[in-house]
Amino acid sequence: MSEDTQPTGASGRPEGAGAVVVGGGLAGITAALALADAGVRVTLLEGRPRLGGLAFSFQRGELTVDNGQHVYLRCCTAYRWFLDRIEGASLAPLQDRLDVPVLDAEAKPGRRLGRIGRSALPVPLHLARSLATYQHLSLAERAKVGRAALALKALDLDDPALDDQNFGQWLAEHGQSERAVEALWDLVGVATLNAVAGDSSLGLAAMVFKTGLLSDPGAADIGWARVPLGELHDTLARKALDSAGVRTEVRTRVTSISLNENGRWSVQVPGETLDADTVVLAVPQREAHDLLPAGALDAPERLLEIGTAPILNVHVVYDRKVLARPFFAALGSPVQWVFDRTDASGLREGQYLALSQSAAQDEIDEPVAVLRERYLPELERLLPTARGAEVKDFFVTRERTATFAPTPGVGRLRPGARTRAPGLYLAGAWTATGWPATMESAVRSGAGAARAALGALGRPRDHLLAFEEAA
Ligand SMILES: Cc1cc2nc3c(=O)[nH]c(=O)nc-3n(C[C@H](O)[C@H](O)[C@H](O)COP(=O)(O)OP(=O)(O)OC[C@H]3O[C@@H](n4cnc5c(N)ncnc54)[C@H](O)[C@@H]3O)c2cc1C
């Protein structure tokens, strides 16, 4: 890098040292766009050779593979704003109406397929018909689920005591059987929280279920990328950053951040020091801990107490089509969610399925051969057409620190965007957004950090209104 980060105003004169955003995941990209849109001169520094952080793609022969299947919901208004901002919304559309096929591998033939869906009726009636006909639960269990959902809806998300409580325990106290937890609460909760109910904070779980299922009839309609994630979070994001005037440097790892004698921030990268008035640190919590200057947080060691949770993806390429639907969720099997990635991956013959296995603590380090022996027969149990099909490729992707662990009490450990150090802000899905570690949380955190920074700089924040109205 040769240029400095001096911004120039309408007069063409330098206007201070501008902003440096550290970390090119969704949080950092959002912060960089939001700052640049307000006229701040921004440099975005990313250690890896690409943008997108934890949501990225790579090449395996002719296949373009996502490191992990990502979905979002209609209620993820910040991520939807992000998709619009990078002109990628049409590439990651939402279902018209929530419809999740749920296959129970252990049910009798003819009773294996259940569905979670919604009608256009107002909340909570929008789910009533689907619940009443959900054949993976008994009549009594369905009635109890309905009562627990109403109790959940009545919880006050602003009550900090909720965060210390255990969601699994709360479900048990509200009459939920083990089967109801497996076939309904965990089916949704494990995929969104990356933890089973017994390992989850009631506050975060209530937030997810209230916002997704009990706020607006369409809130839980599911969206996912029909193109590789890299096309959105790297290619299109890069294009948006370029046209906003952000200078983006990949393969550029920040090694330290310190205040210099001019009262500005010195951001150190190999071979160079960048000057900045504003720094947004949009890196994972452990890296943030290591880079934060002394005194920036009251109790920086708390960042290290935020646990992490793994996600495993199992990728299988068959020589023929074995699944007719775009995706399904499974019960009675170690398989959790299965997506058809054929078109998105560029595969020309056969079918490519990606199995998304959340809260994968028990199998994240299993050898590929063990996982192959476990999952191929399971897919044959769930999908009869897979029995005669040839497996052309089988591989796995492992993200050991995919999300922060949403354990009870984690809320106290998550800092907000502002630090004690003037001009230094935090962003990342793990910061205090109120959301679990999702793309939504990442985008919200990036916008929050930009809002705080622009306020301190006395810069306009009106352009963030559109975002906040959407959010
Ligand atoms: C397998 C998997 C499946 C998931 N599924 C979903 C899903 O279905 N729906 C959903 O909403 N979310 C999902 N998530 C979570 C979602 O991907 C993350 O919450 C989100 O992408 C986090 O974004 P971020 O910007 O906060 O952090 P990150 O993506 O971690 O970005 C931080 C960036 O900082 C960079 N960095 C670190 N240190 C430095 C340094 N010193 N200098 C420069 N750069 C540095 C890193 O390289 C990285 O690019 C999933 C995650 C995984 C891994």
CATH number, position 78: 3.90.660.10
Within 8 A by CB and 6+ apart from 247, the residues are 3, 5, 42, 43, 44
| 40 has pLDDT over 90 | yes
Would you say residue 389 lies in a domain?
Answer: yes
- The average pLDDT across 135-154 equals 96
Scanning the structure block, which residue is given the tokens 């990078």? 86
- pLDDT band, very low/low/confident/very high, at 17 (cuts 50, 70, 90): confident
Phi, psi of 354 (to 5 degrees): -115, 125
Q: Which of 70, 251, 255, 400 to mutate to test the pocket of ligand 1 (most atoms within 8 A of CB)?
A: 70
pLDDT of residue 196: 98
Helices vs. strands in the chain: H and E counts, helices first: 15, 19
Q: How far apart are the first and last CA of the chain?
A: 36
Residue 82 CA, ligand 1 centroid: distance in Å? 15
DSSP category for residue 219: T
- Using the predicted structure, report yes or no on whether residue 112 has a pLDDT greater than 70: yes
Q: How confident is the model at residue 462 (pLDDT cuts 50, 70, 90)?
A: confident
Residues 419 and 281 in one domain: yes
On whether both 274 and 421 belong to a single domain, the answer is yes
Ligand 1 residue neighbourhood (C-beta within 6 Å): 22-28, 45-48, 53-55, 67-68, 70-72, 253-254, 282-284, 287, 311, 313, 399, 402-403, 428-429, 437-442
Task: Return the pLDDT at 306.
Answer: 98
Q: How confident is the model at residue 463 (pLDDT cuts 50, 70, 90)?
A: confident
Ligand 1: atom nearest CA of 233 is 21
Instruction: Judge whether 1 lies within some domain.
Output: no
Give 387-403 pLDDT, tens digit per residue. Answer: 999 999 999 999 999 99
Q: How far apart are CA 461 and CA 14, in angstroms?
A: 21
Tokens at 450, concatenated = 């930009």
Residue 8 lies in a domain: no
Do residue 206 and residue 276 come from a single domain? no
Q: Are residues 336 and 372 in the same domain?
A: yes
- Amino acid occupying residue 228: P
Substitution site in 361, 439, 440 for ligand 1 pocket (most atoms within 8 Å of beta carbon): 439
Which of 187, 202, 220 delimits the end of a domain?
220
> Length of the chain, please?
471
Distance CA 36, CA 27 (A): 14
What is the mean predicted confidence (pLDDT) over 172-181?
Answer: 98
Judge contact between 246 and 36, C-beta under 8 A. yes
pLDDT digits (tens, 9 = 90+) for 282-297: 999 999 999 999 999 9
12 lies in some domain = no
Same domain membership, residue 398 and residue 318: yes
Range 258-286 average pLDDT: 96
Same structural domain, 209 and 234: no
- 309-367 confidence digits (pLDDT tens): 999 999 999 999 999 999 999 999 999 999 999 999 999 999 999 999 999 999 999 99
Q: Which of residues 220, 249, 269 is at a domain's end? A: 220
159 and 274, same domain (yes or no) = no
Domain that holds residue 150: 120-220
Same domain? For 418 and 293 the reply is: yes
Q: Smallest Cα–Cα separation from 22: which of 350, 234, 254, 215?
A: 254
Is 285 among the domain residues? Answer: yes
Name the percent of the chain lying above pLDDT 90: 91
- Same structural domain for residues 270 and 328? no
Task: Judge whether residue 7 has pLDDT over 60.
Answer: no
Q: How far apart are the C-alpha atoms of 213 and 220, rounded to whole Å?
A: 6
* 3 state DSSP class of 448: helix
Cα 68 to chain center, whole Å? Answer: 10
| Inside any domain, residue 192 | yes
Instruction: Look up the CATH number of the domain holding residue 41.
Output: 3.50.50.60
Same domain, 329 and 394: yes
In this prediction, residues 176-189 reach a mean pLDDT of: 97
Share of the chain above pLDDT 70, in %: 95
Residues 64/346, Cβ–Cβ less than 8 Å: yes
Helix (H, G, I), strand (E, B) or coil at 71: strand
The per-residue pLDDT for 3 is: 38
Q: Does residue 466 have a pLDDT over 80?
A: no
> Would residue 111 count as lying in a domain?
no
35 and 150 housed in the same domain: no
Same domain, 396 and 347: yes
Name which of 408, 310, 436 is nearest 361 in CA terms: 310
Domain total of the chain: 3
For residue 92, pLDDT over 80 is answered with yes
Residue 33 lies in a domain: yes
Question: According to the model, what pLDDT value does residue 79 have?
Answer: 97
State the residue for tokens 């809002």. Answer: 451
**Closest to 33 (Cα-Cα) out of 75, 71, 87:** 87
Distance CA 178, CA 166 (A): 15
Domain boundary among 220, 255, 274: 220
| Cβ-based neighbour number of residue 161 at 10 Å | 9
Q: From atom 31 of ligand 1, which residue's Cα is the shortest distance away?
A: 25
